[in-house]
């Protein structure tokens, strides 16, 4: 663990969440399972289990297994807008029965879900892509706002650059604001902390790690890509509301639609199985990404990637990824402070 090694990176968010460094693992559905969450937690970060649309029995197994691997705190990510209401109710009940202490929500703000978990004494982290959504989340009782920029991989809620959105949120709220989107190394972490943000929230950086539940094909594509290889499209929309855009690596599916990347209606898309996880079919145009257990036409699936992907050049243990980010950020912030001090001294001498 990193306790005491990175005091320059510590923010109030660390005290709130119980982590050592303000680096949060995104709750990537299917990918952020217990193994990845435990590795991030043990390295000093704050993990989120990605449990969108998962059955309560899987949630229970993941939470219990995570707790055998680490005693560090974590959150569970649920997405009401992409989940059947009855399943969402069962998911929340399962988490509360297990004593889960924090929830991460995304997409539409659902005050009832937030109120329910807050009444049980849980923390709420809410990822938002607009100022309006941030206001709604804060009004509903969120404890932390995660500002997601258009640079982010996976489902993208807003259309604003992450640092512009973060600045807007910080000017209006007293809640901790976390930067999410395109953050893949210590430069991004240092920039976030330098502007006064409480931390960073990373998906792509941890997707390409040994413990990630993503398929090796997906990881290999990430390490070979750069920012220009990503596209924002809603062609991968089955299982989500209409208009839900995702940032992915371009592939044969996005190539086939040319410049018509947005404006697709899920009701008009065919339901054609192209891959499988055991006996569960994965459909062309669905939001499913290839996992360790997936077989079939992986190339045609949604290969999520944020615009920071060009700085991910290898697949490493998650703890190493986190430590690289932290080490680089410490060095950059120290240099920034040294240069700022030098400039101040030079001004004083000249006066």
DSSP string, 216-248: HHHHHHHHT--GGGEEEESSS-BTS-TT--EEE
CA–CA gap between residue 162 and residue 149 (Å, rounded): 4
Report strand pairing: 294-296 vs 273-277.
antiparallel
CA–CA gap between residue 271 and residue 265 (Å, rounded): 13
pLDDT of residue 349: 47
Residue 237 burial (C-beta neighbours within 10 Å; 0-12, 13-18, 19+): buried
pLDDT tens for the chain, residues 1 to 351: 445 679 999 999 999 999 999 999 999 999 999 999 999 999 999 999 999 999 999 999 999 999 999 999 999 999 998 999 999 999 999 999 999 999 999 999 999 999 999 999 999 999 999 999 999 999 999 999 999 999 999 999 999 999 999 999 999 999 999 999 999 999 999 999 999 999 999 999 999 999 999 999 999 999 999 999 999 999 999 989 899 999 999 999 999 999 999 999 999 999 999 999 999 999 999 999 999 999 999 999 999 999 999 999 999 999 999 999 999 999 999 998 776 655 555 555 455
**Helix and strand totals (H; E) in the chain:** 12, 14
CA–CA gap between residue 25 and residue 349 (Å, rounded): 46
Which residues are within 8 A (CB) of 306 and not within 5 positions of it... i.e. 6 or more apart?
151, 152, 153, 154, 181, 182, 183, 184, 203, 204, 230, 247
CA–CA gap between residue 103 and residue 115 (Å, rounded): 12
Q: Helix, strand, or coil here: 323?
A: helix
**Where on the phi/psi map is residue 157: left (φ > 0), alpha (ψ -120 to 50), or beta?**
alpha
CA–CA gap between residue 341 and residue 131 (Å, rounded): 35
Torsion of CA 103, 3, 318, 192, to 10 degrees: 70
Which residues are within 8 A (CB) of 325 and not within 5 positions of it... i.e. 6 or more apart?
23, 185, 186, 188, 189, 202, 205
Angle between helices 318-350 and 34-42 (to 10 degrees): 40
Could you count the other beta carbons within 10 Å of the beta carbon of residue 209? 25
Instruction: Write the DSSP symbol of residue 179.
Output: E
User: What DSSP element (H or E) covers 113?
Assistant: helix 111-119
Instruction: Please name each of the domains of the chain with its CATH number.
Output: 11-213 (3.20.20.70), 216-309 (no CATH)
Could you count the other beta carbons within 10 Å of the beta carbon of residue 320? 14
Tell which residue, 213, 21, 180, has the closest CA to residue 104: 180
Which residues are within 8 A (CB) of 293 and not within 5 positions of it... i.e. 6 or more apart?
277, 278
């Amino acid at each position: 663990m990193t306790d005491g090694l990175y005091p320059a990176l510590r923010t109030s968010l660390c005290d709130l969440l119980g982590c050592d460094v303000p680096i949060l693992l995104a709750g990537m559905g299917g990918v952020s399972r217990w193994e990845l969450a435990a590795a991030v937690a043990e390295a000093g970060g704050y993990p989120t289990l990605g449990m969108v649309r998962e059955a309560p029995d899987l949630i229970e197994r993941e939470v219990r297994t995570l707790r055998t691997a680490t005693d560090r705190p974590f959150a569970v990510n649920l997405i009401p807008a992409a989940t059947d209401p009855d399943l969402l109710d069962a998911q929340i009940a399962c988490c509360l029965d297990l004593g889960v202490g924090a929830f991460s929500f995304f997409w539409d703000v659902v005050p009832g879900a937030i109120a329910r978990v807050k009444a049980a004494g849980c923390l709420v982290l809410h990822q938002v892509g607009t100022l309006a959504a941030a206001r709604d989340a804060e009004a509903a009782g969120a404890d932390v706002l995660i500002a997601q920029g258009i640079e982010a991989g996976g489902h993208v809620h807003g259309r604003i650059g992450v640092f512009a959105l973060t600045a807007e949120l910080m000017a209006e709220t007293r809640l901790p604001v976390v930067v999410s989107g395109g953050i893949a190394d210590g430069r991004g972490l240092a920039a976030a902390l330098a502007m006064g943000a409480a931390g960073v929230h990373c998906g792509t950086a941890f997707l390409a790690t040994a413990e990630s539940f993503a398929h090796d094909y997906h990881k290999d594509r990430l390490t070979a890509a750069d920012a220009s290889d990503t596209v924002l499209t809603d062609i991968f929309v089955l299982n989500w509301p209409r208009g839900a855009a995702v940032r992915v690596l371009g592939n044969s599916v996005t190539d086939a639609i040319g410049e018509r990347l947005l404006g697709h209606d899920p009701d008009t898309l065919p339901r054609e199985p192209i891959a499988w996880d055991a006996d569960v079919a994965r459909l062309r145009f669905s939001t499913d990404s290839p996992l360790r257990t997936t077989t079939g036409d992986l190339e045609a699936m949604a290969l999520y990637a944020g615009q920071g992907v060009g700085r991910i050049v290898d697949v490493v243990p998650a703890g190493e990824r986190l430590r690289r980010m932290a080490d680089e950020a410490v060095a950059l912030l120290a240099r920034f402070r040294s240069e700022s001090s030098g400039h101040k001294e030079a001004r004083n001498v000249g006066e």
